[in-house]
Structure 1
Amino acid sequence: MPPPESSPNAIARGLGVLGDEWCLQLLRAAHSGATRFGRFQEELPISAASLAARLALLADEGLFIRRVYQQNPIRAEYLLTPQGRGTWPILLAIWDWEDRWADHPAGELPDRRHAECGQSFHPELVCATCGVAAGRRDVTAAWGPTGGWDRSIPDTATRRRTRASRTAGEFPETMAVFGNRWSAVVIGAVFQGIRRYSEFESLLGIPSNILSERLRILVEYGLLRVDVTEQGRREYHLTEKGRAFFPIVATTLSWAERWFALPEGPAISWQHGDHPLVPRLDCDQCHRPLQAAQIEVLETSDQKV
């Protein structure tokens, strides 16, 4: 039986998982080789209760598989599934955006090297179908059969930690968008061409006090700017920093559509020229497709994204 028309679509399901900062951090640690409870606690300043809850969520959503390796007492390890391994382009896009645009008072993010060419690099978003760059202005978006703002809002709101509690290698400014369901849907609306407060309010169904706060925060973080038209109307436009967030959006939605697709069809379709956009990250030095196994963290040589 197909799900009801009001059920969350792939966007809502994907953001429901990745919109939690601890889930993102656990995925980052897992890509670096962590599998056991103690190792996750060593790498992250997370309480045992929060860690257990996030590991259970990631297992329930199919990103981890729980494997018992000791019976008395029972101990388990958490291994990335193909769905979990598929998040590496998202994490790489987040690292690059945070490295270029975010203020990291706790220290610089570790550099990456592409083993195939031996160079430090930045990932470039291209369309895998044609191999041509795919910036936000190069693509168009349209709702699919399961699309719509009401179905694209995650069911749960998640929390971000304060900046003061952070360490290098985390995602503070990404979580200003991903870590709040209303921020995520507002930035998505701007990418689709929504500009005016009244349009946000009517199309997204956001309470006015929450909408005002979300717009204020996105302006404060520099992702949006406010322009006043000749008619005196305030419009919200993406800044250069905001447009640079598009690779995170593209890789996240592509991953979500792959793993949380509904039988009726996609939530949103991106068109690149005369064909659908298939997001891919290439090395900006050698212009070859990036692979997870070829990406080295220079600060810690045995870690990989």
Structure 2
Amino acid sequence: MQQSADRGVVSASPPDTGPNSIARGLGVLGDEWCLQLLRAAHTGATRFGRFQELLPISAASLAARLALLADEGLLIRRVYQQNPIRAEYLLTPQGRGTWPILLAIWDWEDRWADHVRGELPVRRHTVCGASFHPELVCGTCGVATVRTDVRAAWGPTGGWSRSVPETATRRRTNASRSAGEFPETMAVFGNRWSAVVMGAVFQGISRYTDFESTLKIPSNILSERLRILLDYGLLRVDVAEQGRRDYHLTEKGQAFFPIIATTLSWAERWYALPEGPAMSWRHDDHALAPRLDCDQCHQPLQAAQIEILRPDDQNV
């Protein structure tokens, strides 16, 4: 058994017997259209035409993504008219459970993605009446939590090979983007190897040769993924002794942790395997239960208590 540096993941080399909860969760959320449809569904969209009004998506792509989200259990298709057949798509408990992920993504994009900074609507917490940023808290002890407070260890279904999504996920081009989308998040989520490389850095891996040997990633793909993460400012490179290049998280990269924590927590809940979890998280001497609190009143956030203020409302 080996432990990575920087309070990283403990590697016990569990057997490889298929994709785990991490791989399955990223396989769904790694598609930007799926994220956009979930965001629209959380704001009340249920019908095909309404999704098309809100998003610049083709009918074929929309139908395919709605079918995927229904197959994965995040939406349920309910026919409300027979002739012609008309259906609506309603969030299931699994789908409703994605709101902390979407809120964490939205907040990170607003703070860190240069080309959308300040363009996203303000969020108001109706409990305290203040505009807010979500704060990652350990739900077990109620203490605000950052990456360096957390130690992760592979569970019975863990391991790098089991955590890579089976198929390459999809990332939209920059064409026809608008405020409220997730372009920089998809630099991580929108590519199967980017997500794994970013996860490895969070868990203490920093050397190029360690990425290659641990992740079993082809050298040309690894070089490309590292370059993209550097270009987006999520990583920095330090030149160590004998010219060795070490890759570390920037402040921007560190701030991505709430997205990772909420995503893996959601994935473990809804894609858990009978053999046990893919990863266990420890905060100090207890299990980490990721939760988002209001940074103004420090109360736990709930989806129904978050009001989205459009530009015309922000002076009210």
TM range (shorter): over 0.9
Letter in 1 for 2:170: R
| Contact residue 6 and residue 150 of structure 1 kept, 8 A | no
**2:185 paired with 1:208:** no
Show the counterpart of 1:275: 286
Cα distance in 1 for partners of 2:312, 2:293 equals: 21
Structure 1 residue matching 2:182: 3-state secondary structure: coil
**2:168 paired with 1:175:** no
**2:291 paired with 1:291:** no
Letter in 2 for 1:291: Q
Show the counterpart of 1:163: 174
Structure 2 residue matching 1:231: 3-state secondary structure: helix
Show the counterpart of 1:29: 40
Cα distance in 1 for partners of 2:281, 2:226 equals: 25
**Cα displacement (A) at 1:233:** 0.9
Structure 2 residue matching 1:166: 3-state secondary structure: coil
Show the counterpart of 1:135: 146
Which residues in structure 2 correspond to 1:213-232 (within 5 Å)? 213-232=224-243
**2:245 paired with 1:234:** yes
| Stretches of 4+ aligned residues off by more than 6 angstroms | none
| Contact residue 62 and residue 84 of structure 1 kept, 8 A | yes
Cα distance in 1 for partners of 2:239, 2:154 equals: 29
**Cα displacement (A) at 1:138:** 0.5
Structure 2 residue matching 1:162: 3-state secondary structure: coil
Q: Deviations over 1:29-57 (max 9, x none)?
A: 00000000000000000000000000000
Letter in 1 for 2:279: I
**Cα displacement (A) at 1:105:** 5.2
Cα distance in 1 for partners of 2:297, 2:312 equals: 21
| Contact residue 124 and residue 306 of structure 2 kept, 8 A | yes
| Contact residue 104 and residue 258 of structure 2 kept, 8 A | yes
Letter in 2 for 1:221: Y
Cα distance in 2 for partners of 1:105, 1:277 equals: 31
Cα distance in 2 for partners of 1:234, 1:41 equals: 46
Which residues in structure 2 correspond to 1:188-199 (within 5 Å)? 188-199=199-210
Show the counterpart of 2:12: none
| Contact residue 111 and residue 117 of structure 2 kept, 8 A | no
- Of all paired residues, the percent bearing the same amino acid is 85
Structure 1 residue matching 2:237: 3-state secondary structure: strand
**Cα displacement (A) at 1:158:** 2.3
Show the counterpart of 2:7: none
Show the counterpart of 1:43: 54
Q: Deviations over 1:104-147 (max 9, x none)?
A: 25971111000000000000000001000110011011111000
Show the counterpart of 2:8: none
| Contact residue 110 and residue 118 of structure 2 kept, 8 A | no
| Contact residue 281 and residue 290 of structure 1 kept, 8 A | yes
**Cα displacement (A) at 1:5:** 4.1
* Unaligned ranges ≥5, structure 1: none
Show the counterpart of 1:110: 121
Cα distance in 1 for partners of 2:137, 2:61 equals: 37
State the TM-score, normalizing by the size of structure 2.
Answer: 0.92
Structure 1 residue matching 2:242: 3-state secondary structure: coil
**2:131 paired with 1:120:** yes
**Cα displacement (A) at 1:164:** 3.5
Please report the RMSD computed on the Cα atoms of aligned residues, expressed in angstroms.
1.5
| Contact residue 21 and residue 268 of structure 2 kept, 8 A | yes
Structure 1 residue matching 2:243: 3-state secondary structure: coil
**Cα displacement (A) at 1:156:** 1.5
| Contact residue 42 and residue 96 of structure 2 kept, 8 A | yes
Q: Give the total of aligned pairs.
A: 299
**Cα displacement (A) at 1:159:** 2.6
* Unaligned ranges ≥5, structure 2: 1-14
